[in-house]
Amino acid sequence: MLLAGDETLLSTLPPGKWIGGTSVNFIAENGGAMDRERIFVTDITAHAASVVVRKYDVKSLSGIGADYPANGFTVLIVPGMSAAHEAFAKDVQNYPGVFNSPLIGWISGVALSEIGKRAPKSFAGNEVALGNEAVAMHVTLPAAEAAHIDIINLFKQGDGDSIVFEADGFGTSGECRIQGKAANLAAYIAKHQIDTKLPLVANYNGALINVSIQACDAEKGTVSFYAPVFKGIEYKFAAPLGDYASTFADTVGHAAGANVAFSCNCILNYAYAGLEGKKTGSFVGPITFGEVAYMLLNQTLAYLSIAKVA
């Protein structure tokens, strides 16, 4: 089982073949909810021929690809705002074999009002809360089944200025190049009155990947992000959506939801699209501080489907 809930609840569970991550926001069958009294359960028993649960510290996380099943998938949970979170976000594209099998999961979180007050945690099938270790469930599927990962991203690059950063990281003191000229991103955001609900979007080998803005301080000239930006990559602010909530509803409604075994959605989609009490089609699951679909994503719905194969 894949479990999401408040740390107090997850810490009471008996040992078993499960992994967990802290979250208090969910999309359930009745719609979006904040709930500290219940645990959201994704039961993958029907698909799993066998499972292996492992823990990974900052150093060993880069070797996760060596533990992948021959036919199956891996679910990864990383504690938000931890050293493991930062290491995974910055380096996952260089992990040996990381793209050889489906890797999906989430960054665990806390209530938005508790950021900086409580630390997100992960659980490796027992009551011990882990603050700086990622946990994974490596799932072997029957030979007649195959796993597939997909994402729903509302955003595309806008037609605005090109932004290139001077260094990798979750934040910047402003140094970047905009249209090839040295500039300060925070000042640029303030001058152009950019809506920071819109993420930066980069084209990573054909996939549009969002980097969401956590905070912008024009006075200090600093900007912090929910995922790292990378040196030398061209970013642009996303094209405006119009009405965020209706765009999200329409996009999710048209997505193929058949055979979905697991899904998770970003806390920013939850907040900006007003998903409290609203349904998202056949997609249910934890609301997260980042989504894993091979790499770290922001403002994205990620999902795993399992299909029969000949």
CB 67 within 8 A of CB 56: no
Task: Per-residue pLDDT tens, the chain, 310 aa: give them.
Answer: 999 999 999 999 999 999 999 999 999 988 899 999 999 999 999 999 999 999 999 999 999 999 999 999 999 999 998 999 989 988 898 999 999 999 999 999 998 888 888 999 999 999 999 999 999 999 999 999 999 999 988 899 999 999 999 888 888 777 899 999 999 999 999 999 999 999 999 987 777 889 999 889 999 999 998 888 888 999 999 998 878 878 887 787 766 556 899 999 999 999 888 889 887 777 899 999 999 999 999 999 999 999 998 6
The confidence score (pLDDT) of residue 254 equals 65
Q: For the beta carbon of residue 58, count every other beta carbon within 10 angstroms.
A: 17
The confidence score (pLDDT) of residue 258 equals 66
The confidence score (pLDDT) of residue 250 equals 79
Task: Give Cα 29 to chain centroid, integer Å.
Answer: 21
C-alpha–C-alpha distance, residues 281 and 17, integer Å = 28
